[in-house]
């Protein structure tokens, strides 16, 4: 089994090195890892840190300018060679130690898609913005109804899926709604879906969190569009 981990990073000088070290600490002997870092036009020391620690990742893509997480994800997907894809944010809101849960489910059940749930959390979850949580419940409810699934948290950033289920050239979005586009495509093509509990140490907006409540509207549109197309 080969696992491609896609790590978009924009101005994450405080955490990028911690993330890479933690990722390497999660390795298990029976899995081949590919760590793909996308430096999304960072203006702080993120690129310098990456240049000085190339032993911690497989490949680095440098966007000439900040083009957004969605664009960076697509660039990473284009070169990923793994059997499975998983996304890792560079801000350490999500703990890479939870990868072991995804790997176990992949191996034990030949899963097509696995989502991490912040609400069925493993050991801890940080209390975060109430509107974001309400929005997530709304998105999850709509998604479950339209795609006949039973997930509890579709918009955690921990999603693992078989690479063969997604044609990266078919992706049309670059914003926060891209996660919904990807999830809709792999769910429609897959058959075996699972969810695992994860830990979550979410940031506040003051600490750098970028998603806002108004992002719920393009996400809802994408969920519906992905189901009827």
Give the domain CATH number at 45: 3.90.550.10
Give the count of domains, the chain. Answer: 1
Chain segment 6-17, per-residue pLDDT in tens: 999 999 999 999
Q: Is the pTM of this model over 0.85?
A: yes
| Longest CA pairwise span in the chain (Å) | 47
Q: What 3-state DSSP class applies to 121?
A: coil
Say what the pLDDT of residue 77 is: 98
Chain segment 174-193, per-residue pLDDT in tens: 988 999 999 999 999 999 99
Say what the pLDDT of residue 130 is: 74
Regions of the chain short of the pLDDT cut 50: 205, 207
- Is residue 69 within 8 Å of 91, Cβ to Cβ? no
Residue with tokens 């390795």: 27
Domain span at residue 212 reads 2-228
């Amino acid at each position: 089994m080969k696992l491609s981990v896609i790590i978009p990073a924009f101005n994450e000088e405080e955490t990028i090195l911690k993330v890479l070290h933690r990722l390497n600490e999660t390795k298990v002997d029976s899995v081949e890892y590919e760590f793909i870092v996308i430096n999304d036009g960072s203006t702080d020391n993120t690129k310098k840190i990456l240049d000085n620690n190339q032993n911690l990742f497989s490949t680095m893509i440098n966007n000439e300018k900040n083009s957004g997480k969605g664009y960076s994800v697509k660039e990473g997907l284009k070169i990923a060679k793994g059997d499975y894809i998983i996304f890792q944010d560079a801000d350490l809101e999500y703990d890479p130690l939870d990868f072991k849960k995804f790997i176990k489910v992949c191996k034990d059940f030949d899963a097509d898609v696995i989502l991490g749930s912040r609400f069925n959390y493993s050991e801890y979850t940080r209390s975060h913005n109430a509107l974001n949580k309400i929005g997530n419940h709304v998105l999850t409810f709509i998604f479950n109804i339209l795609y006949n699934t039973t997930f509890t948290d579709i918009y955690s950033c921990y999603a693992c899926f078989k690479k063969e289920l997604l044609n990266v050239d078919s992706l049309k979005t670059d914003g926060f709604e891209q996660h919904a586009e990807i999830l809709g495509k792999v769910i429609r093509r897959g058959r075996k879906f699972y969810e695992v509990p994860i830990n979550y140490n979410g940031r506040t907006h003051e600490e750098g969190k970028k998603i806002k409540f108004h992002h719920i509207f393009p996400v809802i549109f994408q969920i519906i569009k992905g189901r009827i197309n």
